[in-house]
Amino acid sequence: MHPSTQSLNQLLRSLNAVRNPGIYVYCQLPLDADLSGLPAFATFREPEGWTVILEENAALARGLEPRFRAAWITLTVYSDLEAVGLTAAVAGALADRGISCNVVAAVDHDHLFVPVAAAAEALDALVLLSKNAIFRENAGC
């Protein structure tokens, strides 16, 4: 078990965004699909079908149609699932640059899926978001 925090300022100061290697895709499968053996990183059941996130090569090898190609960025800060504002701050920083962001919250970390072509700019935006939080704290704001 890792220490986590709910303080938005503390979360932003220690944000540390890391891009995972590879390209990931969102695909949709019917509700009656057999997901066993599917190397998905995440699944979600909706009334319309299963959303699965997996490596692009694995999806293509299985004949799955990618609906969205993404870079996967992990926020390595241990964030509490009840923390308020982290998703909004991150999504806002990316939205200011016109970057879409799909967030998957897990127990220890938040995971961002952004368009592949925008990965480097997304990382730059997150570094700036963290630096601004550190600056505000040092300035006594």
Q: What is the pLDDT along the chain (141 residues), one digit of tens a residue?
A: 455 556 777 888 888 899 999 999 999 999 999 999 999 999 999 999 999 999 999 999 999 999 999 999 999 887 777 777 788 899 999 999 999 999 998 988 899 999 999 999 999 999 999 888 764 555 554
Whether the CB-CB separation of 85 and 54 falls below 8 Å is answered with no
What is the CATH T-level fold of the domain 8-138, as seen in this structure?
VC0802-like (3.30.2130)
Residue 137's pLDDT is what? 52
pLDDT score, position 10: 81
Q: What is the pLDDT of residue 139?
A: 52
End-to-end CA distance of the chain: 32
Q: Give pLDDT, residue 138.
A: 52
Q: What pLDDT sits at residue 84?
A: 78
Do 4 and 80 touch, CB atoms closer than 8 A? yes
